[in-house]
Amino acid sequence: MGVGELRRAVFLDRDGVLNQVVMRGGKPASPRRLSEFSLLPGAGEQVARLKQAGYTVIVVTNQPDVARGHLPEQELAAMHAELARAAPVDEIQACPHGDRHACGCRKPKPGMLIEAAERHGIDLGASWLVGDGHKDMGAAEAAGVKAILIEAEYNSQVAAPYRAPDLASAIDHILEQG
């Protein structure tokens, strides 16, 4: 990368992309304790593939259970430490707010992506977001990044420009596109 050149990045949602979702009341939810946090098989290796290809890898995750009082900040920090040990990510960003806070960082708003782009010198137009929900797809569109939806039983109605059955297939697509 030359002086002044912007980097390509892949933004990864956390729950349902890198770790298992927890089903609560028949709906996908985030883990609330480290004991509930389970990385998906091969997640670390898939992130390593992106790093080897020269991508900056940033996790962007909504964690409203912090604001709701269901997820202690120390539990969130422990989950992110576990994730960082297992996968060579460049940064983990978490929005701890709920919808009522109307913050700019909560997906589908693009705040986390835009802030990371400024911090890391990222070309959003040459970057990707891999997620499992409509808020991820909305954040990608709002930030001007290409999007891939990881298919799950709970998101068949989500509109997405590209769908992949799992993270490995999503990364295959990204690497094929260059």
Instruction: Classify domain 9-177 by CATH architecture.
Output: 3-Layer(aba) Sandwich (3.40)
The model's pTM: 0.96
Domain spans, the chain: 9-177
Query: Cα torsion for 156, 133, 63, 128, to the nearest 10°?
Result: 150
- Chain centroid to Cα 49, Å, comes to 16
* 166 is annotated as an active-site residue: no
pLDDT tens-digit profile, the chain (178 residues): 455 689 999 999 999 999 999 999 999 999 999 999 999 999 999 999 999 999 999 999 999 999 999 999 999 999 999 999 999 999 999 999 988 888 999 999 999 999 999 999 999 999 999 999 999 999 999 999 999 999 999 999 999 999 999 999 999 999 999 7
CA angle (137, 140, 144) in 5-degree steps = 145
- Collapsed DSSP state (helix, strand, coil) of residue 100: helix
* 90 is annotated as an active-site residue: no
Q: Give the separation between CA 18 and CA 49, rounded to whole angstroms.
A: 14
